[in-house]
Structure 1
Amino acid sequence: MTAPLTTPLTTPLSPTDRTTVRRGRIRAVEERRALFDLLGEALVCHLGVVVGEGAEAHPVVLPTVCAADAEGPDEGGTLYLHGSVAARSLVAAPDRTICVTVTLLDGIVAARSAFHHSMNYRSAVVIGRPRVVTDEAERARALDLIVDQVVPGRAATLRPHTRKELAATVVLALPLLEASVKIRAGGPGDDAADIEAGTWGGHIPLRLVADAAVPAPECGDGPVPDDIRTLVDRLDGPD
């Protein structure tokens, strides 16, 4: 692994034409820290890549799990993705530019006109050419980060990966240099005439919650481990 080429949290967002926000620029966020905050909270991202060749080439957008490392070896930090070695999207990705998007939905905006209805959200777009992670230490760290992205602290409680599991898994590293972030918050931006008409307007906050953890039958009446209980508590689930 090599040292990062830049200081990730101080590198400006949207350094290229491909990731410069144009539509709704008032919602663009320039602080790179906002990108890592958003990625750190995301449970699902979408990977977009063109698969196939010639007339058979077509875009595919698939949901997956990702994990960001601000101190990763790529310029701007590193976004790790993983999946089966048989997945066409992951096999094709290192040979071309890909796009990864993340959206966190924070609310529904109910305006006084259909035109101004909207959503409150935090979203990120990352564009670049990934590399296949072959360094064993980086690969192990990436897989631990991906596990902990879903259940923080879980990786340390699990057995090591087997050779068969590692052989069946591909890990990609995408530089976080080319990225953009947009955030919308608050109520509707209604026209004055619509406000004066007296129709109700506002927004409905949304959040992710968890129910109580359900143990596998083999666990019997054993206690729920700390990492699972902490996650449920953080998502305001019941004890």
Structure 2
Amino acid sequence: MTDTPLSPTERSTVLRHSERARADRQALYDVLDAGLVCHLGFVVDGCPVVLPTLYGREGDTLYMHASSGARSSRLFAEGADVCVTVTHVDGVVYGRSVFHHSVNYRSAVVHGRARTMPSEDAKRHGMKVLAEHVAPGAWDYARRPDAKELAAVAVTALDLTESSVKVRTGPPRDRDDEVTPDMWAGVLPVSLGVGAPWPDPRVPEGVAVPEHVRARRL
């Protein structure tokens, strides 16, 4: 745990609803560690592109992967500026007026310059971080990537130096004069959970679900 404060830049300073900003770095880690998919934004030929992708965090570095032949990978190898967002919706907020309908959420935005892992060892390490974030225990249980697979994958790293966090909690923000005795308002909680694992049809009968899968929690 760390209460080291975030150091906002012009790009990462929260302007709208600044009261929802979180200043400690642990809040950033909490939002990132609770997610599975981030949205990665960058510019190609003057046009914005936003792609959903898996990621993993180690310390103050975020790792993401893509095909080594993708144009995004070529841009990242050149040190392109990127923006990564992760958002969790914790509830739908029902106000007494449509204007005050909202959601409770936790969100993180990271700005920075992408860098591509240059060596097989660095790439393998990034893939391990990714695997252990999305599927804890998989790196030690499954076969490791071979040289051909490593060549087909590009692993991108992004420093978490320039980041912001926003969190909304609580009930709707209706005005006092909108509160009437005949209208309901409140929050419908939203949560992400896991179900029972189901096997690949090629798994022989009798092969047990491994402990790291059975113990998986979100």
Q: Is the contact between residue 48 and residue 99 of structure 1 (CA under 8 Å) also seen in structure 2?
A: yes
| In structure 2, C-alpha distance between the alignment counterparts of 1:20 and 1:119, rounded to whole Å | 21
| In structure 2, C-alpha distance between the alignment counterparts of 1:95 and 1:150, rounded to whole Å | 26
Range with bigger deviation, 14-23 or 87-96: 87-96
1:80 counterpart = 2:63? yes
* Secondary structure in 2 matching 1:228: helix
Q: How does 1:69-148 map to 2 (within 5 A)?
A: 69-70=58-59, 77-93=60-76, 94-148=78-132
- Indicate the residue corresponding to 2:168 in structure 1: 184
Distance apart, 1:196 and its partner CA = 2.9
Against the structure 1 CA distance between its residues 85 and 213, is the aligned structure 2 distance closer, same or farther, given a 3 Å change threshold? same
Q: How does 1:215-234 map to 2 (within 5 A)?
A: 215-221=199-205, 222-231=207-216, 234=217
Which of 51, 54, 61 does residue 65 from structure 1 map onto? 54
| In structure 1, C-alpha distance between the alignment counterparts of 2:180 and 2:133, rounded to whole Å | 47
Which of 13, 22, 37 does residue 20 from structure 1 map onto? 13
Q: How does 1:152-231 map to 2 (within 5 A)?
A: 152-196=136-180, 198-221=182-205, 222-231=207-216
| In structure 1, C-alpha distance between the alignment counterparts of 2:31 and 2:127, rounded to whole Å | 19
Aligned pair count reads 216
Q: Which has the higher strand share?
A: 2
Structure 2: which 5+ runs fail to align?
A: none
Q: Is the contact between residue 109 and residue 117 of structure 1 (CA under 8 Å) also seen in structure 2?
A: yes
Against the structure 1 CA distance between its residues 198 and 13, is the aligned structure 2 distance closer, same or farther, given a 3 Å change threshold? farther
Amino acid at match of 1:67: G
Distance apart, 1:88 and its partner CA = 1.6
Distance apart, 1:214 and its partner CA = 1.0
Distance apart, 1:58 and its partner CA = 0.8
* Secondary structure in 2 matching 1:95: coil
Write out per-residue CA displacement over residues 61-92 of structure 1, whole angstroms, 9 at most, x where no aligned residue. Answer: 0000111111xxxxxx1111111012222321
| In structure 2, C-alpha distance between the alignment counterparts of 1:37 and 1:137, rounded to whole Å | 28
Distance apart, 1:153 and its partner CA = 1.5
- Indicate the residue corresponding to 1:74 in structure 2: none
Q: TM-score by structure 1 length?
A: 0.86
Q: Which runs of 4+ in 1 moved over 4 A?
A: 8-11
- Indicate the residue corresponding to 1:5 in structure 2: none
Structure 1: which 5+ runs fail to align?
A: 1-7, 71-76
* Secondary structure in 1 matching 2:172: coil
| In structure 1, C-alpha distance between the alignment counterparts of 2:136 and 2:69, rounded to whole Å | 28
Distance apart, 1:137 and its partner CA = 3.4
- Indicate the residue corresponding to 2:38 in structure 1: 45
